[in-house]
Structure 1
């Protein structure tokens, strides 16, 4: 679950007058005057590299029209009319990115995302020394990230999400002190995350998820107070998390580390960033108790700790569950496939009334489901499958009227399926298999 928030555009649209060699006198054919021939020819060369233009985005890219009025092109407000922005987002353009774009040395914004471009990112793009925002996401680009990308010392944002880029992350990226957004998700990048990346003094969003990165996070993590969103999910990262991770990232709002090989205890310091809203540590090898410090995260709305080896065997181990009652915005809680033992605490009734997803399947839960669970009547999805729960379900099931997905399979529930289950009019999935229920199936559950 991951997403990329694009910053506001860094260039302002400037409408320029069309410069004509003549003014349409008689039947004389008029051509635009392209005072800046270098930018003009560089754009034409880019057009030649495009093999398919189904939307006609480049239809007016011809000498009859001044290049500053070509679709997707913005220029400076004074002569010699330098190109400052090229925006051809979502035009389904196919072909390759011409190295000629490297001649647009006044370019500060390049938007070529959501096309069908292939080939490599030209090294020549690193000649665009004024480039502040580069977005080539959602294409079919291959090869490596240009090693000289560190020459773009004015970059504020770079988005290369969803391509087929290979190789490592250039360490030089960490030297761009202006960089606010670095998004390299959904590629085939490998190797370790360069140490320099963890030293970026102004970084706000760092998205490296869905690659083949290895190694881990430095055990002594320096203070990166600017970082708000960190996603490293779906890689091959491992080792333990630095114990000071929550203190080093005090302004963190989103942390996605799921589907990796992290192990050891979850650091208690993760309860310290007061604005932390989303945490995903699922599908790793975390052990020990879940920190009760999560209860300090008053803005927390999403917590996914499923598919780990986390334990709760006594009152101390379940303290985190009581503490989560403080998280009044908690919307989704995933604890499935861990090593939670014993009865579900009665404090389940104190969880946020905003809770829509609660999954605790695949543990070693026993005893009855506290009837007070019916207070969580905003639940859309409830999964308690593959546990050792017993008792009846009639005291609470009919009150959860917003349920769409209910999974109670492979437990020891007894009694009958209560008629009140017919009150669950939103239900689209129900599994009660492998229990000890008796009697008839209510007609409301029939075809």
Structure 2
């Protein structure tokens, strides 16, 4: 009798297990790996890991269904294909196995902020891939043409690696691409003009590389572009006078290059949605276009270390959202009251936090209108000019100042009358003037 009952109990257990697996079908039964290709591809990826300090892969073993492994997400129905592999910020080290390229249903691959080395993995089979994040690793070698096989790619981030060589021109085959981030590599050569063909492109960050040549005119023709960051390269040439198709642009970063020439006189009119303009450390010359005052969304105007001359446009006062105006190290002038009118105008910029006009050719007394600047102002830099006379005592109304720089001018008088009122002041630079008296405690 006992021999007959035992197999019956076993049969009941098997039936119960099958029922249980069916009941939890949507979260996958952990006793059976429905897709051996994805299972083995993930195990091959794990073999390439030489360091896992946080134990991110500690539950990657056959006793648990791979869809429950840390960082793995799968489709909700059989045969349960891997759709996402996300192991960002786990300090993983080793090489990224090209077995990842066999996860053909993958939509998101995020291995950013780790310590992976070696070349980029071969991912030419991932035609469903939408998001590829491999930034902030130590990957090297070149960007190969296989990348264009990922025809559904929407966002590509290979930033902060050690990639070399050129940017492949056929990257324009990625017709759905909205964002490309190659910041912080060692890429050389020219910017591919073919970027113009990416009508979906919104964000381009090629900064902090070794790109050279001029900026192709085609870059100024990308129809829906919102951010162009080409800073910290070896780019030359200038900004064309004729670009008219950038009404969607919000951020333009061209600082730390060798760009020159004058700025288009209508730059503020053709960039009506511009929020940040970064042109510092180049060779731009001529006057600063007054039309910048028409770009009413501008929050940052950063033009230091150039050769700009003439007066500072009073039209900056039209920028009600302006927070940072940095014009230091240029040849801007203020010799008469007309040249100082920008101070009166900036009184309307109630969100202004940083104002720097140091290292220019500003002459004469500091206008009393300095007291009308926003109380939100935290940093004011006016050193290395030809300022003279006393500092208006009303400057003490700028109670929010934490840094004030007036060094290397010809200022005279005492300072105790206004310094005492600046209760938040942390840095005060006054050397190489003709002040008298003591700094109050």
Q: 1:362 to 1:86 in 2, by over 3 A?
A: same
Q: Do the aligned residues in 2 keep the contact of 1:52 with 1:95 (CA within 8 Å)?
A: no
Match of 2:231 among 189, 194, 209: 209
Q: Do the aligned residues in 2 keep the contact of 1:72 with 1:88 (CA within 8 Å)?
A: no
Q: Which residue of 2 aligns with 1:150?
A: 172
SS at match of 2:284: strand
Following superposition, the deviation at residue 18 of structure 1 comes to: 3.9
Following superposition, the deviation at residue 64 of structure 1 comes to: 7.1
TM-score where L is the length of structure 2: 0.83
Q: How far apart, in 1, do the equivalents of 2:26 and 2:357 lie?
A: 58
Gaps of 5+ in 2: 1-24, 82-104
Following superposition, the deviation at residue 74 of structure 1 comes to: 4.2
Q: Which residue of 1 aligns with 2:34?
A: 33
Q: Which residue of 2 aligns with 1:286?
A: 308
Q: Deviations over 1:49-77 (max 9, x none)?
A: 76665555566667777665555454555
Q: Which residue of 1 aligns with 2:119?
A: 96
Q: Which residue of 2 aligns with 1:417?
A: 438
Q: Which residue of 2 aligns with 1:443?
A: none
Following superposition, the deviation at residue 294 of structure 1 comes to: 0.3
Q: How far apart, in 2, do the equivalents of 1:375 and 1:150 lie?
A: 55
Following superposition, the deviation at residue 98 of structure 1 comes to: 1.3
Q: How far apart, in 1, do the equivalents of 2:291 and 2:106 lie?
A: 48
Decide which moves more: 333-342 or 388-397.
388-397
**What are the within-5 Å matches in structure 2 for residues 129-278 of structure 1?**
129-278=151-300
Q: Deviations over 1:24-82 (max 9, x none)?
A: xxxxxx6x2326x4x77776776677666555556666777766555545455566631
Following superposition, the deviation at residue 214 of structure 1 comes to: 1.2
Task: Give 1 or 2 for the bigger CA radius of gyration.
Answer: 2
Match of 2:375 among 353, 362, 376: 353
Q: How far apart, in 1, do the equivalents of 2:308 and 2:54 lie?
A: 50
Q: Which residue of 2 aligns with 1:85?
A: 108
Q: Deviations over 1:309-331 (max 9, x none)?
A: 00111111111111101101111
Q: Deviations over 1:133-190 (max 9, x none)?
A: 1111222222222221101110111111112222221111221111111111111121
RMSD: 2.4
TM-score where L is the length of structure 1: 0.82
Q: Do the aligned residues in 2 keep the contact of 1:116 with 1:140 (CA within 8 Å)?
A: yes
SS at match of 1:396: helix
Q: 1:324 to 1:209 in 2, by over 3 A?
A: same
Match of 1:368 among 366, 387, 390: 390
Q: Which residue of 2 aligns with 1:302?
A: 324
Count matched residues: 393
Q: Deviations over 1:227-262 (max 9, x none)?
A: 111111111111111111111100011111111111
Q: How far apart, in 2, do the equivalents of 1:173 and 1:59 lie?
A: 42
Q: How far apart, in 1, do the equivalents of 2:412 and 2:296 lie?
A: 38
Q: Do the aligned residues in 2 keep the contact of 1:210 with 1:233 (CA within 8 Å)?
A: yes
Q: Do the aligned residues in 1 keep the contact of 2:27 with 2:76 (CA within 8 Å)?
A: no
Q: Which residue of 2 aligns with 1:434?
A: none
**What are the within-5 Å matches in structure 2 for residues 117-132 of structure 1?**
117-132=139-154
Following superposition, the deviation at residue 92 of structure 1 comes to: 2.2
Q: Which residue of 1 aligns with 2:92?
A: none
SS at match of 2:342: helix
Q: 1:48 to 1:178 in 2, by over 3 A?
A: farther
Q: How far apart, in 2, do the equivalents of 1:150 and 1:67 lie?
A: 35
Q: Do the aligned residues in 2 keep the contact of 1:205 with 1:229 (CA within 8 Å)?
A: yes
**What are the within-5 Å matches in structure 2 for residues 46-57 of structure 1?**
55=54, 57=56
Following superposition, the deviation at residue 89 of structure 1 comes to: 2.2
Q: How far apart, in 1, do the equivalents of 2:61 and 2:29 lie?
A: 14
Q: 1:69 to 1:104 in 2, by over 3 A?
A: farther
Q: How far apart, in 1, do the equivalents of 2:192 and 2:298 lie?
A: 29
Q: 1:392 to 1:291 in 2, by over 3 A?
A: same
Q: 1:142 to 1:63 in 2, by over 3 A?
A: farther
Gaps of 5+ in 1: 1-14, 24-29, 423-447
